[in-house]
Amino acid sequence: MKDDDNRMKHPRKHGIDISTIRSERSARDSARQTVLTERQSERFKLPETPGYYIPFQGYGATNLSALPVAATGLMIAPVHKDVTLLLWTMLFYSPVAQSGVNLWTFNLINDALGVMATRTSIAAVVAGTWTKLPPISIFTNDGLIAETSKYIYMDAAPTGAPGSCSLATSVYAV
């Protein structure tokens, strides 16, 4: 950089034309801008993954009361092509402690195949906090759902007096 300054101050002394120095600086600035642009665009790239999350839509109440009947079709998601379910995740909240006597049972159901997976709310649920239930990766029919299916949905059934609950769920598929 210091050589450039000396050459710029006394270009004829060094036998260099001022326009040459300016074009060199312009090329360097352009290269620097290209590197900065590439670095910024890297931050916004999505990770490459073969799968995707199937978005569920609340269908009916997503805040459950402890009723003696099952809540059918609690959350629903369309199926638009052949998919294989890989992972079912859930966040669960209840103001009441869950136990082997008082709990919620959730089923992931396909309209054509029936129940594909079942889970309960007793896995380390602390009253009054959001709890990430362990993911489920074992499904009936190896998780394969044909394009002829229309949807998958989740239902819930209380056992005992588990209290109300709130939840969020997603299914990862390929």
Q: Which domain holds residue 89?
A: 52-173
Q: Examine the domain organization and report whether 167 and 94 are in the same domain.
A: yes
For residues 89 and 147, state if they share a domain: yes
| Band (4; pLDDT cuts 50, 70, 90) | low
Q: Are 141 and 94 part of one and the same domain?
A: yes
- Distance separating alpha carbons of residues 33 and 30, to the nearest angstrom: 5
Residue 69 has pLDDT above 70, yes or no: no
Same domain, 66 and 141: yes
Mean residue pLDDT across the chain:
76
Q: Are 143 and 70 in contact (CB under 8 A)?
A: no
Q: At 147, which CATH number?
A: 2.60.120
Q: What is the mean pLDDT of residues 20-43?
A: 74
Structure tokens at 166: 């709130």
Is the same domain home to 31 and 61?
A: no
Phi and psi torsions of 21, nearest 5°: -65, -45
> Is residue 137 domain-shared with residue 166, that is, in the same domain?
yes
DSSP state of 16: -
Question: Which bin fits 9, alpha (ψ -120 to 50), beta or left (φ > 0)?
Answer: alpha
- What average pLDDT does range 70-94 have in this prediction? 79
pLDDT per residue as tens digits for the range 85-144: 888 888 888 888 888 888 888 888 888 888 888 888 775 678 888 888 888 887 887 888
| Count of domains for the chain | 2
Read off the pLDDT of each residue in 16-33 and give the average, rounded to a whole number: 78
Do 122 and 70 belong to one domain?
A: yes
Q: Is the same domain home to 96 and 128?
A: yes
Q: Do 30 and 66 share a structural domain?
A: no
DSSP 131: E
Angle subtended at Cα 98 by Cα 97 and Cα 103, rounded to the nearest 5 degrees: 145
Q: Do 161 and 109 share a structural domain?
A: yes
Confidence of residue 151 (pLDDT cuts 50, 70, 90): confident
In this structure, are residues 168 and 114 in contact, taking their beta carbons and an 8 Å threshold?
no
